[in-house]
Structure 1
Amino acid sequence: MHHGNKPTSEQKLNSFFANLKKLKQRDHQEISSDGLVVHSEDAIWLDSQATGNPSEIGILVDIPAKSLEFYLQKIPANSSSDLQRHVHESVHYVIEGEGYSEIGDQVVTWSKGDFVYTPPWIWHRHYNPHSAEVQMLLVENSRALDALDANRRESLGMVSFEQYFKNNSVKN
């Protein structure tokens, strides 16, 4: 029985075999130039009202990566991000500035040129205790998890790791 525009079993099978053939012959080198170079000026910036903390996030939506997400992050002087955790891994590359992060029960310091790794599902918060703005490039494997409907993010707001877990003796 054929219902409107719904593909038939034969069409589905033909599509499956066409995709299988593409997987076996992945030597095609003609690609679109879209997204091969994305300028930082093209970032779409989310302000503190959208992020829920003083930091701003620049979303680089034009990068066509299927498994990685790229952001720019600015943490104003004498401020921080919120205490959060997420299922994906993330790496912050420090472009300008210096500060420290709470990552789980660890406190780590960082400065220009450093990479800061955040493991999956670990509470973390990034701090800028100095008078100059911090700028970072953030790379996450969140797109891969989005494609699997397996991504999740939580925020506890503007509380430190120590304050939250000291006041809530049950650790997550």
Structure 2
Amino acid sequence: MSTQTKFHSADFDKTPPTFASTLPDRLVHRGVEKEDTRAAYSVERKHPVHFVDLPSNAVSVTVGGLAPGGRSNRHRHTYETILYVLEGRGYSMIEDRKIEWEPGDALYIPVWAWHHHVNADAEKPARYLACENAPMLQNLGRLAIREEEK
């Protein structure tokens, strides 16, 4: 059971005037794409996902990929996502909008929007960096929800 103090709107005056910074032990995750510690997650989503394991309480980062001609499952979630395309060419369907992408492009996936990603190249893989605010929502009370279309 958590002993953390819960604050509400009438507690704004309890905001401390100073903050003590705590430096975590782990500041680097080397070889992110060399590890495959969550293979089941990748299999379920039909594309590789490599988790960046660092102690952020607000933002998660993953390196995702799509096989040549591959696509992700259609899904939605209660957290925001920004994708930065590292390599490959393809498109994402965000609700009914087709957004084409190539290396150097960044895409925004809004909260609870149905979406999936497609690698349009039949010969080369696609890779992207995904940044999401799911940990922040989880820390606020399990508000990070993901739904896969069956």
Aligned position for 2:49: 57
Name the one with the larger helix percent: 1
Q: TM-score, normalised by structure 1?
A: 0.70
| Offset, 1:155 | 0.4
| Offset, 1:54 | 2.5
Q: Which structure exhibits the higher relative contact order, with contacts defined as CA atoms closer than 8 Å and separated by 6 or more residues?
A: 2
| Offset, 1:39 | 2.4
- Cα contact 2:66–2:125 (8 A) shared by 1: yes
Aligned position for 1:146: 138
Aligned-residue Cα RMSD (Å) equals 2.3
| Cα distance change, pair 119–40 in 1 and its aligned pair in 2 (3 A) | farther
- 1:32 and 1:151 mapped to 2: Cα distance? 24
- 2:143 and 2:77 mapped to 1: Cα distance? 10
Is there any run of 5+ residues in structure 2 with no aligned partner, and where?
6-13
Aligned position for 1:66: 57
- SS of corresponding position for 2:65: strand
- 1:60 and 1:86 mapped to 2: Cα distance? 19
Aligned position for 1:109: 100
| Cα distance change, pair 32–54 in 1 and its aligned pair in 2 (3 A) | closer
Q: Does 1:41 align with 2:5?
A: no
| Offset, 1:98 | 1.0
- Aligned residue pair count: 135
| Offset, 1:30 | 5.9
| Offset, 1:123 | 0.2
- SS of corresponding position for 1:120: coil
- 1:104 and 1:97 mapped to 2: Cα distance? 22
